Each structure stands twice: as C-alpha cells, then as structure tokens.
Amino acid sequence: MTTISLMIVELTRLLLGLLIAFFHRPIADFVLVQERALVVAFRQRGLRLPAAPTTETARTLYFMIGIGLAIYEICRIWMMLQGISVNLALF
C-alpha cells in the first residue's frame, strides 16, 4: 500500500473516533433501547440477565471509546509522520 492510501485509512479512523465521541449520546441511547428490549425478551423466556447499564454509564462508555480511538489514531499518524514503524495492529 502506498503512503497516501495508508494516510487516508488513518484519517478515516480518526474521523470515525471523533464522530463516535461527538454523537455518543444518540448512539448510546439507541443501543440502550435495543439492549433493554433484549433483556426483557430473555427474561420473559426464563433466562436471567443482568440489567442494562444506566444511560449515563452507556453515554460515558461510548464517549470514551470515541476519544480512545481518536487518540490512538493521532498517535499512529504522528508515528507515520516521524518515520517510526507503525506495527500496532489493534485494527
């Protein structure tokens, strides 16, 4: 892969992390509605599942995921610009 296409991939991941952090509230709210529905469905069938996390916990979790992804990608981009070998294969 050329350096330009690698940089496009890294910038796209950075944008994804920032978008997750920016839209963490609607993402968390949507996921919580689905998770609560699943918990109710499983409980009706006799399978005991733990309760879904609180709204604030879910929002914080998605915000931290977005910020963590963005920080990770900023570090990878900085390492690429410095000429350091980027072999951190988390994604």
Residues of the chain with pLDDT > 90, as a percent, come to 65
Mean pLDDT throughout 7-36? 95
pLDDT for residue 7: 86
In tens, the pLDDT along 64-75 reads 999 999 999 999
State the virtual CA torsion across 28, 30, 31, 34 in degrees, nearest 10: 150
Q: What residue spans of 1-91 are helical by DSSP H?
A: 3-22, 24-44, 55-82
CB 77 within 8 A of CB 8: no
- The model's pTM: 0.81
Q: Tokens 């733990």 map to which residue? A: 50
pLDDT for residue 82: 84
Assess whether pLDDT exceeds 80 at residue 89: no
Assess whether pLDDT exceeds 80 at residue 49: yes
Domain residue ranges in the chain: 13-82
How many Cα atoms sit within 13 Å of 29 on the Cβ side? 4
Distance CA 51, CA 27 (A): 19
pLDDT for residue 70: 96
Mean pLDDT throughout 28-50? 94
